[in-house]
Amino acid sequence: MELLQGTLDLLILRTLIFGSQHGQGIARAIQQTSDEELLVEHGALYPALQRLEERGWISAKWGISTNNRKARFYTLTSAGRKQLVKETTKWNRLTAAIGRVLESEEG
Amino acid sequence: MFGRTRKASDFGAEIEAHLEMETDRLKEQGMSDEDARTEARRAFGNVTRVQERFYESSRWPGWEHFWQDLRYAARMLRQSPGFTAIAVLTIALGIGATTAIFSVVDATLLHPLPYPHPEQLVSVIDDLPGVGAQDVGMSVPEWHDFQRSGIFEYVAPSGGGDVNLTGSSQPTRILFAAVAPNYFALLGVQPELGRSFNPEDTTPGFTLEVLISDRLWKGAFASDPQILGRNIRLDNDLYQIIGVMPASFHDPGQTTAQRNTELWAAAGLAGPPAPDPLRASHFLAPVIARVKPGLTVTEAQSRLDALVASLQKEFPQDYPLQSAWRVRLVPLKQTVVGDVRQSLILLLGAVGLVLLIGCVNVANLLLARASARGREMAVRQALGAERRRLVWQLLTEGLLLSLVGGIVGLAILYCTKGFLLQIVPDSLPRLNEVTINWPVLLFALGATLFAGAIFGLAPALHAGRQDLTHMLKQEARGSTGSGEQARTRRVLVITEFALSLVLMIAAGLLLRSFADLMHAHLGYNPQSVMTVRTWLPIPNDLATDVYRTPALQAPFLREVLRRGSTLPGVEEIAVGNLAALPLGHSRTDLNPFSLVIEGRETNANQAPLVDGSIVTPEYFHLLRMTLLRGRLFAQADDENALPVVVINDAFAQMYWPGDNPVGKRIKIRVPGDRSTFAWNTIVGVIADARTESLAEPTVPQMFLSLYQRTAKDWAIFLRGRLDTAAIPAQLRAQVQSVNPELPVFGAQTLHDVVSASLSQRRFSMEIVALFALTALLLAGLGIYGVISYIVSERTHEFGIRLALGAKSRDIVRIVLRQGLGLAIAGAAVGLLGALIVSHLMAGVLYGVRPTDPLTFAGVALLLIGVALLACYIPARRAIRVDPLVALRYE
């Protein structure tokens, strides 16, 4: 399943709520937690991370990964946490609304 | 924001790390190294594309937009060169003028005086407020009291004048100052060559040591390296040069003459030739002082007040209570700048106003264009341009316009700098310090940005407020913008017209006065006459003056006349004093003689004062003056004969109206001459001539004979077919062959003297005319902007009218009527203002009434003509509207 535009940001923020993670880890996590349903093109991840960092929702610093590789680790900031709550609410309302529409079509 | 701080290499490293980790993971799942790598890359997608996106996002979008706006703005300005030229010129004018005035303000008011610790320097001024007298001068004992008071580091009086310098390459007349020996120690300035005066010197008279200016050293002494210790003579007295002041040093005087001082002589000012140092003898002025370090001027003033009070108690005879003697300290900078401060600030304000009106005009033009571009803006907005971007873009256009204008203005200013400094009266203090420096450039930049913001914002705000759908549907059909805006613009145009009418009428009246003055009947003939000046010395010891009596002076005078008449081309020759040089002397060169008329009671304090000249008998014929009664001077009227006087008709009419004054006797007290208080017989009356002022035909005057009086300030008059280039040197050789010590200078044709006497008048006329033309240009521009705006707003309406059969003539008439209404309203207001102003100007007008109908009507017609012309251009645009195009956008 391809990602809807704008949902990648939400997924990244959501993934980071469990703690710092590097880009490759985020990509893995999204794929795994969605039971491999969502395919993230890894390349698309990095400009998105850059954008989120510029907006101040996540911060980044270089560190060492579990298998001893240099990697850039991203952490959710407090602004990012608020943004996540906002985006999640918005997303839930949207899906609920779309769901209602689709149900009424069926009925 | 943060993206700018991250390097692309860092981003690349992150991608590299990702690929490595992904390869590791895939290998753990059992893939071969090569397969794992390929799979990691496939899952990543296009690496190059991702990096490009990083570049794009990391660039600051503002800059890109700015460049885009700038390129677009430049293209827009190039597309309408006429509009751009007018707008740029208007701004250039405003910014050039404002910057010019600011550079003067900067040099005169803002810069500290060019001496160390200038804040400690003060002028010390004696006042007698009890008798209403200000700046009466200080006495020598007071000076010494103040010097010892502990309030000041130094107190130094000075006094100046001009003097004959001999001992240089050529005898010359120079400006000099007699200063206290501590003068330069007080100012804190050292000579560039040699040494300064000893500040502790207590010689009562002149110390016989002098310092010279750099200019005098380079000029009169040809930069002689052996200058130190050289002996010179000043009015025949011997002095020694001990130093040369730096080129940058200027005396901190209040007058042009003081500022251009070329030589300083140290003097105790307490012995001859100065008056006796009595406490009541107030003759020292100006006096400057340096306040002790650590004291403010206010503290020094209060301590000085206490000292003055105790001196008044100690010497009640010298300081009567009713005169209320007081001594005032004024910061030196204030006295140097003098009264110019207020007029300069006023001028800066006026020029700033011109700039502001210019800006508003350009804003109007831009508004007119903006409304014509309303659809363009609306379309761009509909295509997704943010409103903020559009506003920025309009603002960029305004700023670009003002920057180009500012640069052109500065360029014009830079090119005309020399000329401008020439037409400024050199009485302006610190003129030599005026330059275009960094503060001035910064000011120009500030003014430019300010101007750009003003007229860039107007259309930008306008665009920002526009309703998109409204604009797209109907391009401002029938609407004429916000009513308030339109009214403001109209009021502005009316004001501009009124203002320019007032200025044009003032300029017109001054021009007519000037023309009349040029053709005034002089009463003498300046053609083919040349004058050359010399000055007989006044030594410190008057007994050594070789020309101290008319009898001692006469042989020299006869020899100069004889030798001068042998020069090639000379047909007539005469000598007079400076007061006899028609229009060639300022009022201060005159010493009005006080009179006693035989047979009339005269209060000694109220003796009539009459301007008098001292001349040789040939003077009247040389200048072609007309004898009305009696006779002129004869050769027999010498020092042994009875003293005689010739008067002019105005004098005769004033004291003997309807009577013959010939044979009447008067006593004349010549200032500084005690021996001449004898009866003088009036022997002749000449016709009035405009020798004092071109504008005043009848000034009472009298003439005494140079064979019966002495004069030091000589003007030698020559008439004939003269070689004006060669005569000065030839005459100098002849005069100096009689007395080699005399300076011979100031050669001028009398015609030049007469026309130079109008220079002040010419200057003010040119300034007013310049302002008037600027105002006219602005008014024309203003009405053009408003009418263009109205036309573009009503394009649709005109289209309908044309479609319904209106003739283009009718459309033109509608537009012109709009413009004419504004112009006439402005002219009406302006006429009222002009009537007031012209009556205030009555004093400077000559030969033309303040309500001269020709000037008033002519200027009003000219103004309306300009208005019609300015409206005709947009009117033509209105009739060229294709009805189809105008109607299509329904």
* pLDDT tens per residue across span B147-158: 999 999 999 998
pLDDT band at B484 (very low <50, low <70, confident <90, very high): low
Is there a domain that residue A15 lies in?
yes
pLDDT at B864 over 80: yes
Distance (Å) of CA B764 to CA B207, B340, B511, B512, B761? 45, 16, 10, 13, 5
pLDDT band at B479 (very low <50, low <70, confident <90, very high): very low
- Mutation to test the B interface, candidates A31, A38, A40, A42, most B Cβ within 10 Å: A42
pLDDT at B462 over 80: no
- Mutation to test the A interface, candidates B18, B56, B59, most A Cβ within 10 Å: B18
Domain assignments of chain B as residue spans, ordered by start? 2-59, 62-115+340-473, 129-324, 484-516+756-890, 537-741
The half-sphere exposure of B772 on its side-chain side, counting CA atoms within 13 A, is 23
pLDDT band at B298 (very low <50, low <70, confident <90, very high): very high
pLDDT band at B718 (very low <50, low <70, confident <90, very high): very high
Tell me which of B274 and B523 has the higher pLDDT: B523
Among B859, B854, B532, CA closest to B718:
B532
* Cβ contact, residue pair B45, A42, below 8 Å: yes
pLDDT given at position B638: 87
Q: Is B117 on the interface with A (CB under 8 A)?
A: no
Q: Give the model confidence (pLDDT) of B244-281 as tens digits.
A: 999 888 888 777 777 889 999 998 887 777 777 888 78
Asked if B263 contacts B256 with a C-beta cutoff of 8 angstroms, the reply is no
Per-chain mean pLDDT for chain B: 83
Is there a domain that residue A2 lies in?
no
Cα–chain-centroid distance for residue B737? 43
* Cβ contact, residue pair A43, B17, below 8 Å: no
Q: Identify the helix (H) or strand (E) that includes residue B8.
A: helix B8-28
Q: Nearest by CB to B14, which of A23, A27, A67? A: A23
pLDDT winner (highest mean) among B324-338, B448-462, B664-678? B324-338
Task: Please report the ipTM that was assigned to this predicted complex.
Answer: 0.86
* Cβ contact, residue pair B44, A41, below 8 Å: yes
pLDDT at B477 over 50: no
pLDDT given at position B317: 86
pLDDT band at B57 (very low <50, low <70, confident <90, very high): low
Least confident of B278-282, B712-716, B791-795: B791-795
Cα separation, B671 vs B854, in Å, equals 48
Residue B286: is the preceding peptide bond cis (ω within 30°)?
A: yes
Find the residue in A nearest to B17 (Cα): A71
Least confident of B268-272, B498-502, B639-643: B268-272
Asked if B596 contacts B602 with a C-beta cutoff of 8 angstroms, the reply is yes
Using a CB-CB distance cutoff of 8 angstroms, which residues of chain B are in contact with residue A69?
A: 17, 20-21, 24
Amino acid identity, residue B590?
A: L
pLDDT band at B619 (very low <50, low <70, confident <90, very high): very high
Share of chain B above pLDDT 70, in %: 88
* Cβ contact, residue pair B17, A24, below 8 Å: yes
pLDDT at B632 over 50: yes
* Helical packing angle, B853-879 and B483-518, nearest 10°: 140
* Cβ contact, residue pair A50, B47, below 8 Å: no
* Cβ contact, residue pair B24, A47, below 8 Å: no
pLDDT given at position B890: 41
Instruction: Tell me the two tokens of residue B98.
Output: 């404002």
The mean pLDDT value for B29-54 works out to 84
Tell me which of B247 and B605 has the higher pLDDT: B247
- Residue B438 burial class via C-beta count within 10 angstroms: exposed 0-12, middle 13-18, buried 19 and up: exposed
Which residues form the domain of A72?
Answer: 7-106
Cα separation, B687 vs B650, in Å, equals 8
Backbone CA torsion sign across B653, B654, B659, B661: negative
Cα separation, A62 vs B10, in Å, equals 10
Q: Is residue B136 helix, strand or coil?
A: coil
CATH of the domain at A100: 1.10.10.10
- Neighbouring residues of B846: CB distance < 8 A, sequence distance ≥ 6: B513, B516, B517, B520, B694, B695
Q: Is B110 on the interface with A (CB under 8 A)?
A: no
Q: Nearest by CB to A46, which of B20, B25, B50? A: B50
pLDDT band at B478 (very low <50, low <70, confident <90, very high): very low
Q: Give the model confidence (pLDDT) of B199-218 as tens digits.
A: 888 888 888 899 999 999 99
From B53's Cα to the closest Cα of chain A, the distance in A is 7
The mean pLDDT value for B440-449 works out to 86
Cα separation, B452 vs B460, in Å, equals 12
* Cβ contact, residue pair B18, A42, below 8 Å: yes
Q: How many residues does chain B have?
A: 890
Asked if B493 contacts B782 with a C-beta cutoff of 8 angstroms, the reply is yes
Among B764, B19, B762, B70, CA closest to B396:
B70
The strand pair at B206-212 and B152-166 is best described as: unpaired
The mean pLDDT value for B562-582 works out to 92
pLDDT at B65 over 80: no
Among B565, B687, B680, B564, CA closest to B623:
B687
Find the residue in A nearest to B4 (Cα): A54
pTM over 0.80: no
Q: Identify the helix (H) or strand (E) that includes residue B488.
A: helix B483-518
The half-sphere exposure of B309 on its side-chain side, counting CA atoms within 13 A, is 6
Using a CB-CB distance cutoff of 8 angstroms, which residues of chain B are in contact with residue A28?
A: 25
Amino acid identity, residue B499?
A: L
**How many domains does chain A contain in total?**
1
Strands (E) in chain A, as ranges, are 21-22, 58-64, 70-76
Q: Is B4 on the interface with A (CB under 8 A)?
A: no
* Cβ contact, residue pair A24, B18, below 8 Å: yes
Q: Nearest by CB to B50, which of A43, A56, A65? A: A43
Using a CB-CB distance cutoff of 8 angstroms, which residues of chain A are in contact with residue B2?
A: 53-54, 56
Q: Is B215 on the interface with A (CB under 8 A)?
A: no
Q: Give the model confidence (pLDDT) of A46-74 as tens digits.
A: 888 888 888 889 998 898 888 788 889 99
Instruction: Tell me the two tokens of residue B330.
Output: 């004024």
pLDDT given at position B474: 46
pLDDT at B318 over 90: no
pLDDT winner (highest mean) among A34-38, B143-147, B793-797? B143-147
Tell me which of B410 and A39 has the higher pLDDT: B410
pLDDT at B763 over 70: yes
Residue B181: is the preceding peptide bond cis (ω within 30°)?
A: no
